[in-house]
Amino acid sequence: MANKARYLVPGDYMADPAVHVFEDKLFIYPSHDWESGIPENDNGDHFNMKDYHVFSMDDPEGSVTDHGVVLDVKDIPWAGRQLWDCDVAYRNGKYYMYFPLKDRNDIFRIGVAVSDRPEGPFTPEANPMWGSYSIDPAVLDDGDGNFYMYFGGLWGGQLQRYRNNKALESAVLPEGDEPALCGKVVRLRDDMMQFAEEPRDVVILDENGKPLTAADDKKRFFEASWIHKYNDKYYFSYSTGDTHLLCYAVGDKPYGPFTYKGVILTPVVGWTTHHAIVEFKNKWYLFHHDSVPSGGRTWLRSLKVVELEYTADGLIKTIEGI
């Protein structure tokens, strides 16, 4: 497969993949795009998703099994609208799906739904996680009994409406030399249902050890957190949003700080770029999406996978999006 991307679900529009190896198979947890008829705007109202499917594969080059609808917005007691990028973690015989959804006040919160099986279906909790906000949860199983959630997203993702985990009177986006807004990381409670602590900033430093600024818009965090470990280092990867790059930064601890290292994927057709990085049978893969099959309609995205490679120094080799 090296460097030749493959579309995974040609019959439907799926985006924002989270991917994990459970029971020796690849399980994909995407957003489910559809033509809702809502006009495109900077708030992301056109991403009006209402359910999730799960997909599995025995091999990245093999057939893809669609396990059908595993969670529907109409079954979530606190739901307003817009099921965006989710992730799933496994602990002690249960699978926990974390999903962002607007509540009835149009505020993004993060919910949890539970299953006995990786392919679901998932049963949602009655309320969102206490103290949760914004979008794009991605969960790291650190292998020592600790699980960490990374989350956050600008613009429609509402991160600019918060400072120090408190809602502001009105949104403030930093500008110029001001430090860029950071994604968030929080350790999960042992029962996986709530945050165990206050979320902290995922600080990304430049090569001189200085936090990235708002003006570093080709490097700074925007949305789409993902985290993986390679050679005992923590690789935090993310989208730069309005500059359309997938980038990464490397650190020694789950809380960071992380040092910016480069571009994983150059811009794809479509506005958003979003991904998961996973090891399977000693090879590494980048799962992502683009809007080529829909003719560039940004809200109708299609899942892809391509092999990902590292240099001998542990740097990720840049993949061309187009």
Residue 284 CB, nearest approach to ligand FUB (Å): 21
**Closer residue to ligand FUB, CB minimum distance, 16 or 290:** 16
Question: Residue 84, interface with ligand FUB (CB under 6 A)?
Answer: yes
The answer to whether the CB of 304 falls within 8 A of the CB of 317 is no
From 85, 87, 223, 290, the catalytic residue: 223
Tokens of 198: 């206050």
Residue 62 CB, nearest approach to ligand FUB (Å): 26
Site string for ligand FUB, 168-207 (x = CB under 6 A): ----------------------------------------
Residue 82 CB, nearest approach to ligand FUB (Å): 8
Q: Which helix (H) or strand (E) holds 180?
A: none
Question: Residue 47, interface with ligand FUB (CB under 6 A)?
Answer: yes
Query: Which one among 15, 97, 140, 154 touches ligand FUB, defined by CB under 6 A?
Result: 15
Closest CA to 73 of 46, 54, 96, 100: 100
d(CA 228, CA 110): 21
d(CA 274, CA 105): 26
Residue 18 CB, nearest approach to ligand FUB (Å): 11
Residue 314 CB, nearest approach to ligand FUB (Å): 26
Question: Residue 222, interface with ligand FUB (CB under 6 A)?
Answer: no
Question: Residue 73, interface with ligand FUB (CB under 6 A)?
Answer: no
- Angle, CA 139 vertex, CA 136 and CA 144 arms, to 5°: 165
d(CA 190, CA 198): 15
Query: Which one among 56, 240, 259, 272 touches ligand FUB, defined by CB under 6 A?
Result: 272
From 16, 33, 87, 136, the catalytic residue: 16
Question: Residue 87, interface with ligand FUB (CB under 6 A)?
Answer: no
d(CA 193, CA 131): 12
Q: How many residues bind ligand FUB (CB under 6 A)?
A: 13
Tokens of 1: 């497969």
Interacting residues with ligand FUB between 136 and 165 (CB under 6 A): 136, 153
Catalytic status, residue 16: yes
Q: What is the DSSP string of 104-156?
A: TTS-EEEEEEEESSTT---EEPSSPPTT--SS--EEEE-SSS-EEEEE--SGG
Catalytic status, residue 169: no
Residue 318 CB, nearest approach to ligand FUB (Å): 20
Backbone angles phi, psi at 263, to 5 degrees: -100, 130
Question: Residue 224, interface with ligand FUB (CB under 6 A)?
Answer: yes
The answer to whether the CB of 236 falls within 8 A of the CB of 220 is no
Radius of gyration (C-alpha) of the chain in whole angstroms: 18
The answer to whether the CB of 73 falls within 8 A of the CB of 34 is no
Give the catalytic positions in this structure: 16, 223
Chain residues that interact with ligand FUB, rule: CB under 6 A = 15-16, 31, 47, 84-85, 135-136, 153, 223-224, 272, 274
